[in-house]
């Protein structure tokens, strides 16, 4: 059986009335638990200017986590606004013993683009250029760059000296077209399990078509939401309780009701995908979402994992940190999943469980 790896989403998940500093303490508590349970990595989000997972500097938070749990691998899903990005990545990689997984993307929220005074029509080309600069910087040699948005005329070398330890990059995928962009750059995709399985297949096929030999042996992560209980109905009831506020925050953050992408050709796919986002705040509309994620009994969850593995995914980024879900409940889910599900698929977590 293929060996699967499991990370967990460490997020500042909003709970009504809880101050932000306590949200970050909850994130650290999740990291302590995930580290003890043997998860592969803690994955952090980047979002700005709203209550939707407010973590504006994942790399800053990750440096704190690295000091407390130096052998815990760390990931982002995804970095969006890359100021001083190459230097900060080099510094963080030198501070960690674990592997650094960095999901990167162009971003989808118009409010974030507006606040940084960047035209969304430039998103895809800016993303490609930023990655090329970061890639050159982390090679550890002096480099120059001439592009559409940035020019580096005088040769520079990143300090601190980039560590020999490899940094794994991944690209956030919102459409098959994005998959081809990531394939051209040689970056494996990060997908969402909420995409229909047929679309996931197309994304991976188009990515492999562009990535070529770089697709061989690649880590292919998929982000999944988790509620695990004794019965499917109990888990789905939790989903119907906690996911509507999550979708309300998401719809507000992305201004989905106003469809801000309608006149932006590069975001036509998002305009279609997010058109009905607000309806997901209705518990009665959540059936397909619950089906596509890991919501149910252990048997049901294993069936869904098996289905996603058959599509080609080999790394599961599991999220229990849903806004509004109390810390005790999400940590109970993390624990049960690590103890009952992960050892069936992961040799590392089988060994940890045996120890």
Residues 177-234 have pLDDT tens digits of 889 999 999 999 999 999 999 999 999 999 999 999 999 999 999 999 999 999 999 9
- Quick check: 12 and 24 in contact, CB under 8 A? yes
pLDDT at 174: 77
Instruction: Tell me whether residue 161 is exposed, middle or buried, using C-beta atoms within 10 angstroms of its C-beta: 0 to 12, 13 to 18, 19 or more.
Output: exposed
**pLDDT grade for 327, boundaries at 50, 70 and 90:** very high
Distance CA 300, CA 219 (A): 24
- Quick check: 41 and 98 in contact, CB under 8 A? yes
Q: In whole angstroms, how far apart are CA 316 and each of 22, 337, 346? A: 27, 12, 11
Q: In whole angstroms, how far apart are CA 335 and each of 34, 47, 246, 297, 318? A: 8, 27, 22, 14, 12
pLDDT tens sequence across 250-294: 999 999 999 999 888 888 888 888 888 999 999 999 999 999 999
Query: Does residue 334 carry a pLDDT above 90?
Result: yes
Mean pLDDT of 49-55: 88
Q: How many folded domains does the chain comprise?
A: 1
Q: For the domain that residue 200 is a member of, what is the CATH number? A: 3.20.20.30
Query: What residues make up the domain containing 22?
Result: 5-354
pLDDT tens sequence across 99-152: 999 999 888 999 999 998 999 999 889 999 999 999 999 999 999 999 999 888
Phi-psi category of residue 223: left, alpha or beta, with phi > 0 → left and psi -120 to 50 → alpha? beta
pTM of the model: 0.91
pLDDT at 1: 67
């Amino acid at each position: 059986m293929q060996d699967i790896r499991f990370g967990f989403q460490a997020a500042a998940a909003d709970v009504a009335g809880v101050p932000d500093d306590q949200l970050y303490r909850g994130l650290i508590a999740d990291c302590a638990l995930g580290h003890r349970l043997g998860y592969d990595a803690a994955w952090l989000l980047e979002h700005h200017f709203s209550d939707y997972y407010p973590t504006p500097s994942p790399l800053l938070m990750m440096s704190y986590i690295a000091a407390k749990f130096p052998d815990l691998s760390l990931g982002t899903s995804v970095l969006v606004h890359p100021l001083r990005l190459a230097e900060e990545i080099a510094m963080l990689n030198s501070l960690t013993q674990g592997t650094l997984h960095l999901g990167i993307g162009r971003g989808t929220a118009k409010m974030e683009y507006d606040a940084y005074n960047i035209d969304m029509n430039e998103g895809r080309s800016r993303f490609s250029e930023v990655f090329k600069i970061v890639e050159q910087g982390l090679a550890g040699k002096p480099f120059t760059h001439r592009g559409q948005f940035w020019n580096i005329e005088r040769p520079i070398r990143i300090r601190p000296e980039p560590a020999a330890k490899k940094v794994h990059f991944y690209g956030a995928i919102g459409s098959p077209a994005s998959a081809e962009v990531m394939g051209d750059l040689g970056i494996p995709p990060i997908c969402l399990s909420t995409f229909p399985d047929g679309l996931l297949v197309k994304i991976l096929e188009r990515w492999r078509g562009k990535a070529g030999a770089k697709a061989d042996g690649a880590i292919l992560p998929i982000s999944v939401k988790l509620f695990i209980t004794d019965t499917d109905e109990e888990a789905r009831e939790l989903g119907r309780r906690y996911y509507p506020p999550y979708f309300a925050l998401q719809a507000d953050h992305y201004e989905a009701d106003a469809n801000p992408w309608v006149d932006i050709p590069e975001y036509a796919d998002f305009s279609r995908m997010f058109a009905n986002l607000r309806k997901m705040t209705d518990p009665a509309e959540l059936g397909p979402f619950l089906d596509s994620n890991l919501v149910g009994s252990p048997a049901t969850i294993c069936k869904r994992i098996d289905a996603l593995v058959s599509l080609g995914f080999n790394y599961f980024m599991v999220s229990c940190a849903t806004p509004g879900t109390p810390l005790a409940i999400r940590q109970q889910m993390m624990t049960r999943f690590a103890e009952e599900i992960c050892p069936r698929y992961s040799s590392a977590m089988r060994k940890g469980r045996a120890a």
